[in-house]
Amino acid sequence: MKRLDLVRIIEQNGAVFIRHGSDHDWYKNPDTGIAESVPRHREIKEPLAKKIIKRLS
């Protein structure tokens, strides 16, 4: 999955950007309080993308 598509999906589900890390960006869902890192690769493997979407939804 393309990184931009993943970021678009998690932002539509309510996640907000927190900060930049060295290799990852951090997003948090304010409703659940769960934060998750998103790698800065152009392509993110499908199982990882699904895990991130599930945790931030």
Report pTM. Answer: 0.90
pLDDT of 38 reads 96
Q: Which residues partner with 28 through β-bridges?
A: 16, 35
pLDDT of 48 reads 96
Select from 1, 42, 20 the least CA-distant residue to 10: 1
Domain extent at residue 11 = 3-56
Positive or negative, the Cα torsion across 13, 5, 18, 24? positive
pLDDT of 51 reads 97
pLDDT of 53 reads 96
Per-residue pLDDT tens for 1-57?
999 999 999 999 999 999 998 899 999 999 999 999 999 999 999 999 999 999 998
The CATH number given to whatever domain includes residue 23 is 3.30.920.30
pLDDT of 37 reads 95
**Number of domains present in the structure of the chain:** 1
